[in-house]
Amino acid sequence: MTRQQIMMADPCLVALDIDGTLVDGDSRIPSGTVEALDLVRAAGHEVVLATGRSLAGLLPIALRLGVSDGSAVCSNGSVTVRLDRSAPAGYDVVAARTFDPGPVIHRAAHVVPGVRVAVEEVGWGWRTNIPFAPGELNGQQKPATLDDLASEPATRVVLTAPGIRRIADALDATGATVAAMDLDWLDLTAPGVNKAAALDGVRKHLRIPADRTVAVGDGVNDREMFAWAARSIAMGHAPAMVRSAADETTGTITEAGALPVLHSLVPDIDDSLSSLAGQLAVAEQTAPGPAALRVWHGTGPDLSRCEVWTLQAGHWVRHAPVPSGVGTTMRALETAALEANLPFPRGDEGRRRARWRSVTTSSGPAGFELPLTSL
């Protein structure tokens, strides 16, 4: 089997950088990306967005990508969240790794007078000594003195000044983790914090084997993630030092280079299928045992949850979400299952409803189940 075939065989943790990987410099998402992400998730893989963006910058793009649940890593590994549509803010913070920013801020201000400093306020924005231009930072800004910025634990600090990268080693000596994003921009996090360290915490929580990990990215802050992943892929436009750190190189962001990687993680299906039918087909093909579709209603007639479950060792376990099933109806799912040519449901229009049965699980209220394969 090829490495891609091995990765397709069982669920993986798929770590994906955002900027330059899933989104271009103009915040455009290449055509087909959202659909591919839905199929990867329907195949049972855990998609984990892993970005240098702050949480305030992650949330809106995650919604655009259709990833509104599951784990995500932001601020270069400083913050891990669980995305959850039912949570008041749309997420819960799982871990926030802080450090004392005082030594590195004071050192930078001494060596580079006039340095701009931003300290992250998780989920809201930044405190800054000098305003940053619109678009430079995600979220809102509020003014603060350098002493104020240096006085409290921080998850992430940004330093910008012309040519500030030249003092990266000197700042690293303060104990902070320093990532030079470009010649004029440094990101600072706690000692030992990076995307890889945070992702490994997610992997262990999900009980995914270390050899079932995939990572795609394009930045210097992705190199540790590449070393961590069993299969690492650099975008074609990434700097040479980033490409050399990866196992493979794909196309550029302009060429939608992430798409062939995502497609390599799912079985081939009929391109003419609707999104819903395609996801059902992929979920049924990748389920390791007999599969059943389970749905739950929200406050209205549309479905609030839609998942494929599988029978393993005599117990039903969750296999994968069906993203396009959320917000639709049971009748639409029946039609999609027939379109995908799944063995069930059988019967004439109006008579298949008898195949649905009530089901209660420990993960939520009573729902309905429709077999997709013969037991």
**DSSP sequence for 312-325:** ETTEEEEEEE-GGG
Q: pTM of this prediction?
A: 0.92
What percent of the chain shows pLDDT beyond 90?
Answer: 83
With H, G, I as helix, E, B as strand and everything else as coil, classify residue 63.
Answer: helix
Apex CA 374: angle with CA 1 and CA 207, to 5°? 50
- Predicted confidence band of residue 6 (pLDDT cuts 50, 70, 90): very low
Residue that is written with structure tokens 């993630």 in the block: 225
The length of the chain in residues reads 375
Taking the CB of residue 317, how many other CB atoms lie within 10 A of it? 13
Strand ranges (E), the chain: 13-16, 46-50, 70-74, 79-83, 91-96, 116-121, 125-128, 140-143, 157-160, 177-182, 185-189, 213-217, 231-234, 248-249, 291-297, 303-312, 315-321, 357-361, 364-371
Buried b (16+ CB within 10 A) or exposed e, 161-179: beebbebeeebbebebbbb
What gap in Å lies between CA 76 and CA 257, rounded to an integer? 22
The DSSP secondary-structure symbol of 154 reads B
pLDDT tens track for 268-294: 999 999 999 999 999 999 999 999 999
What gap in Å lies between CA 128 and CA 258, rounded to an integer? 34
**Which of 295, 288, 301, 374 is CA-nearest to residue 334?**
295
With H, G, I as helix, E, B as strand and everything else as coil, classify residue 106.
Answer: helix
Residue that is written with structure tokens 């970005």 in the block: 51
pLDDT tens track for 97-127: 999 999 999 999 999 999 999 999 999 999 9
Q: What is the mean pLDDT of residues 87-97?
A: 94
Cis peptide before 288 (omega within 30 of 0): no
How confident is the prediction for the chain on average, in pLDDT? 92
**Which of 206, 339, 201 is CA-nearest to residue 279?**
339
pLDDT tens track for 328-356: 999 899 999 989 998 766 555 545 456 78
